[in-house]
Amino acid sequence: MKCIINRRAEFSASHRYWLPELSEAENTEKFGPCVRSPGHGHNYVLYVSMEGDLDEYGMVLNLSDVKQVIKREVTSQLDFSYLNQAWEEFKQTLPTTENIARVIWTRLAPHLPITRIQLFEHPELWADYEGNDMEAYLTISTHFSAAHRLALPTLTLEQNSEIYGKCARVNGHGHNYHLEVTIKGEMDARTGMIADLVAFQKAVEDYVVEPFDHTFLNKDIPYFEQVVPTAENIAIHIRDLLQEPIRAIGATLHKIKLIESPNNSCEVYGVSDELLVPRQIQEAAIA
């Protein structure tokens, strides 16, 4: 029986975004404050996913052995390092989050049956790499606070209360929504980027966070005058709002995850990706 296991590891390292073939002004325009010398640092968190058959001892792999491989091949070499000089690969392609994940895959693949590398640069930015040449995924997380009421205008209060429970109360209620936006694309062979991170963050801020934050969704967002602002419908609307802005920065919108509360969240995929996701997985993600 196949099973996927995950191993977590950490390392602290610094890096700098700087291309010697560009002028200081060009580097600053392209990378912003990340060009500052001698660089800046992060506490990276790494997750290595591996797949295999269970052995007679009920294990895919001995996790003690996995730990030693990750330490030998990755963390002992990167911990407290300057990434631009730590590995030869980072001299050709900058050590962005997504490119670090890709290179870690290449270092571990000869030794472990890996299926995914996930690397957190910090809790609001992480990358996923699944072995597809230069294709990777980049996620940013953010939040907004908003109120809503779940009710169909064609139904009575009693009927809406039967469907939506307390969420149908006439004066609404609020949430601190946590939003995760994932894009995918091909890393540039020189910059190591799927897309300009600042432009990515600005698109999410301009099209979602700023318009939605501190609003009553039913009244302040025209779309929800006719559509009940359930978490599912909010996620779909955010997906539709971001589809073109993400395409404009050279990437593809892969997934929207909206966490309404610690107990409720939903996920919807970009229009180009939802055909690739089995229907039962999409429905389970909304549960």
The set of catalytic residues is: 167, 214, 260
Give me the helices (H) in the chain, please: 24-31, 63-70, 76-78, 83-86, 89-92, 97-108, 157-164, 197-204, 210-212, 217-220, 231-248, 279-286
Enumerate residues 6+ apart whose C-beta is below 8 A from 222: none
**123 touches 143 (CB < 8 A):** no
- Phi first, then psi, for residue 122 (nearest 5°) are -160, 175
C-alpha to C-alpha distance for 254 and 274, rounded to whole angstroms: 9
Q: What would the 3-class secondary structure string for 188-201 be? A: CCCCCCCCCHHHHH
3-state DSSP call for residue 216?
strand
Extract the tokens encoding 50.
């591996």
Extract the tokens encoding 101.
């994940």
* Bridging pattern class, strands 125-129 and 135-148: antiparallel
C-alpha to C-alpha distance for 237 and 62, rounded to whole angstroms: 44
Extract the tokens encoding 23.
């002028």
3-state DSSP call for residue 149?
coil
Which amino acid appears at position 47 of this protein? Y
Helix (H) or strand (E) holding 81: strand 81-82
C-alpha to C-alpha distance for 195 and 237, rounded to whole angstroms: 22
DSSP 1: -
CA 89 remoteness from chain centre: 24
